[in-house]
Amino acid sequence: MKTCRFCGDNIHEFLDFGKQPIANAFIPPEQVGGDEYFFGMRLAFCPSCFLVQLVEQPSREMMFHENYAYFSSISRYMAEHFRRFALMVMDSYIDDDPLVVEIGSNDGIMLRNFAEAGVPSLGVEPSANVAEAARSRGIETICEFFDKDLAERIRSEKGEADAVLAANVMCHIPYLDSVFEGVTALLKPAGVLIFEDPYWGDILEKTSYDQIYDEHVFYFSLTAVSFLAERYGLEVIDVQPQPVHGGEMRYIIARKGAHKVSGMVEALREKEKRMRMGDLERMREFADSVARSRDDLIRTLTDLKKQGKRVAGYGATSKSTTVINYCGITTDLVEYISDTTPSKQGRFSPGAHIPIKPYEEFAAAYPDVALLFAWNHAEEIMKKERRFMEAGGRWLKYVPKVEIS
């Protein structure tokens, strides 16, 4: 039996996705047919600390490096989301001699707002290409993995921080003990750690199993996060659901007693009990829904093919790597995937090798149906794609259920 990555107790496996590639390893044409790395992607639940987690995860250097494919600023809506996030921090959590540190700052989508407001900030971003994009915007960035040693170095060079921020990165880091110890050492006495990640409650409710891929080693709930925080003398003082990336939770954490605890925290704790989020049987029901979703998607794609319809993917997301490889989607069912990220274009999707084409090719000759892999950006995309829909184009979605609209 395997043990929990955080508390060391026995974990229960409840979902097996088979062999999966690195979700963001888009393959250049000359490497197609060469060796590709796969790992066994299995999901488990720890009944002691409530952490849902991958049993196996590739090394961090295989996922985050100088050719990391995801540039956060590709979405205008996300840029606006992070602008509001930064304003909230500046309004509520900084003093007159401030320092804000962000873990996983990527191309500077969040920190640019602090730079513009003249608030001293520092990014920690191990993927050199996206870190460079941030630096070219004038954002000070350390190109390293965040851990306790780095946190102590930052403290001795820059002083203590008012806020440590982390969006879509805490769930990527398997050594949370070192991260929490580091953050605790880095924060001022009344400082806060604010992080947001895909919420396990949303994944369960929407069967959004595509959030499960190599980078996401943890799937958090308030119950699990409270357990983590308590180990370091911290507590969750507020929780704020976020509509981005398919449903996230923002956790605001501080030293015990340093801030008032919002009533939202107890309300969510109660809700999680009602949702049976700590119940292994509920996880098994989720695993059944995932298998049904896969069968529905393959049936729908096969029907479309029989009707002679052209189907293209929309958005070569990390999430799509799980859907494509778990469902067994090939170029027979989905011709290509359209994506606006230059570094993904001209490459092939991990595992199934579906070609990634620039958005301009999609717009020049619309397919009959677009399989919406970037479903989390639906609002932004629907606004842009009126012409596709007016031309008779249809959307195939698979979250929360498989349907054509």
Work out how close the CB of 8 gets to ligand DWN at its nearest, in angstroms, rounded to a whole number: 26
Residues 143-182 that bind ligand DWN (CB under 6 A): 168
Q: Which of 11, 25, 43, 103 binds ligand SAH (CB under 6 A)?
A: 103
Q: Which of 20, 53, 75, 184 binds ligand DWN (CB under 6 A)?
A: 75
Asked if 339 is part of the footprint of ligand DWN (rule: CB under 6 A), the reply reads yes
Q: If 0-12 CB within 10 Å is exposed, 13-18 middle and 19+ buried, where does residue 177 land?
A: middle
Q: Which of 145, 251, 326, 336 binds ligand SAH (CB under 6 A)?
A: 145
Work out how close the CB of 139 gets to ligand DWN at its nearest, in angstroms, rounded to a whole number: 18
DSSP letters, 218-282, are EEB-HHHHHHHHHHTTEEEEEEEEE-GGGSEEEEEEEETTSSPPPHHHHHHHHHHHHTTTT-HHH
Backbone angles phi, psi at 104, to 5 degrees: 70, 50
Q: In terms of CB distance, is 124 or 183 closer to ligand SAH?
A: 124
Asked if 173 is part of the footprint of ligand SAH (rule: CB under 6 A), the reply reads yes
Work out how close the CB of 63 gets to ligand DWN at its nearest, in angstroms, rounded to a whole number: 8
Q: Which of 14, 17, 45, 70 binds ligand SAH (CB under 6 A)?
A: 70
Beta strands in 297-393 (DSSP E): 311-314, 337-339, 356-358, 369-372
Stretch that binds ligand DWN, among 247-255, 280-288, 312-320, 345-353 (CB under 6 A): 312-320
Asked if 17 is part of the footprint of ligand SAH (rule: CB under 6 A), the reply reads no
**Contact at 8 Å (CB) between 239 and 223?**
no
Q: Which of 21, 58, 98, 104 binds ligand SAH (CB under 6 A)?
A: 104
> Quick one: how far is CA 46 from the chain centroid?
21
Residues 238-257 that bind ligand DWN (CB under 6 A): 245
Residues whose CB falls within 8 Å of the CB of residue 70, separated by 6 or more in sequence, listed in order: 24, 106, 130, 318, 341
- Which helix (H) or strand (E) is 151 found in, with range? helix 148-158
Binding site for ligand DWN (CB under 6 A): 70, 74-75, 168, 215, 245, 315-319, 339-341, 344, 359, 374, 376-377, 380-381, 384
